[in-house]
Amino acid sequence: MTTDNLDLAKCLEEAKEFHGDLCAGITLGTRMAILGLKAIGIADPKGEDRKDLIVFVETDRCATDAILATTGCHPGKRTMKILDYGKMAATFINLKTGKAVRVNVKNKDGDRVQTREEIEQNPHTDEYVMMPAKELFNVVEVSVSLKPEDLPGRPIHIVTCSLCGERIMDIREILKDGNILCKPCASNTFYYTPLHSVAQQNL
């Protein structure tokens, strides 16, 4: 176990390589990850501590790539949960000890609305590398309730939706009037609009 695993320069380079470039979001996300890992006692997230860590991220932007690269957590491994609240924040959980902290970027702009032009003209990447952590971030110890179906491992439960016939894993189904339904069918709300089945002919 070595603190070199959480060296800022090393982690920034890994995040840059994974993401494709170095930007403010990558810098902030990397520093958030290092801060969160240290706070919960994780020194080797990709090695001996890899099974003791779960991360919740609250954005689907660059910072999430940085946190993924630094922690080794992935949505597909069920060690990273993405809750897109549009916030520069993440919660780091040590499964062995139960300790968890939420790290978020401090709001220095109050309720002022920033335009896209302002954001692009002031990336602050170098500044974010140098600033003391206490000036950039809030770190708060939190409690997170994790259910067995949310933990890494094979699915513990698979059922079929009564309406669409598609399979549902990990107790994500909804019981409605005695029927097993997936969430879209239960709410009749879909992120897509079915058009036709022509694409099936090309399989």
Do 138 and 177 belong together in one domain? no
pLDDT over 90 (residue 175): yes
| DSSP code of residue 149 | G
Do 127 and 185 belong together in one domain? no
Strand runs (DSSP E) across 18-107, as ranges?
Answer: 53-57, 80-82, 89-94, 100-105
Give the pLDDT confidence of 28-47 residue by residue, as tens digits: 999 999 999 999 999 999 99
Do 78 and 30 belong together in one domain? yes
Q: What's the whole-number average pLDDT of the chain? A: 90
Give the pLDDT confidence of 72-107 residue by residue, as tens digits: 999 999 999 999 999 999 999 999 999 999 999 998
Do 27 and 95 belong together in one domain? yes
Q: What range defines the domain where residue 174 resides?
A: 158-202
Report pTM.
Answer: 0.87
Do 162 and 64 belong together in one domain? no
Nearest-angstrom CA–CA distance, 88 and 69:
16
Whether residue 101 contacts residue 40, with contact meaning beta carbons closer than 8 Å, is answered with yes
Do 168 and 124 belong together in one domain? no
Q: What's the CATH code of the domain at 62? A: 3.30.1330.130
Structure tokens, 45: 């997230």
Across 3-7, 116-120, 165-169, 188-192, least confident range: 116-120
Do 108 and 163 belong together in one domain? no
pLDDT at 82: 98
Do 11 and 69 belong together in one domain? yes
Q: What is the mean pLDDT of residues 170-197?
A: 92
Do 42 and 17 belong together in one domain? yes
Nearest-angstrom CA–CA distance, 91 and 201:
44
200 pLDDT band (50/70/90 cuts)? low
pLDDT over 50 (residue 1): no
Q: Helices (DSSP H) in 20-161: which residue ranges?
A: 24-39, 62-71, 116-121, 125-130, 133-136
Nearest-angstrom CA–CA distance, 88 and 61:
9
Give which of 136, 150, 159, 149 is closest to 54, Cα–Cα: 150
Cα distances (angstroms) measured from residue 117 to each of 27, 111, 123: 20, 17, 11
Do 61 and 134 belong together in one domain? yes
Do 31 and 128 belong together in one domain? yes
Cα distances (angstroms) measured from residue 155 to each of 52, 77, 160: 19, 12, 14
66 or 121, which is more confident? 66
4 or 165, which is more confident? 165
The whole-angstrom distance between residue 96's C-alpha and the CA centroid of its chain comes to 20
The amino acid that residue 140 corresponds to is: V
Structural domain total, the chain = 2
Structure tokens, 20: 């494709």
Give which of 80, 54, 53 is closest to 65, Cα–Cα: 80
Structure tokens, 127: 């500044």
Do 128 and 172 belong together in one domain? no
Q: What is the mean pLDDT of residues 166-194?
A: 95
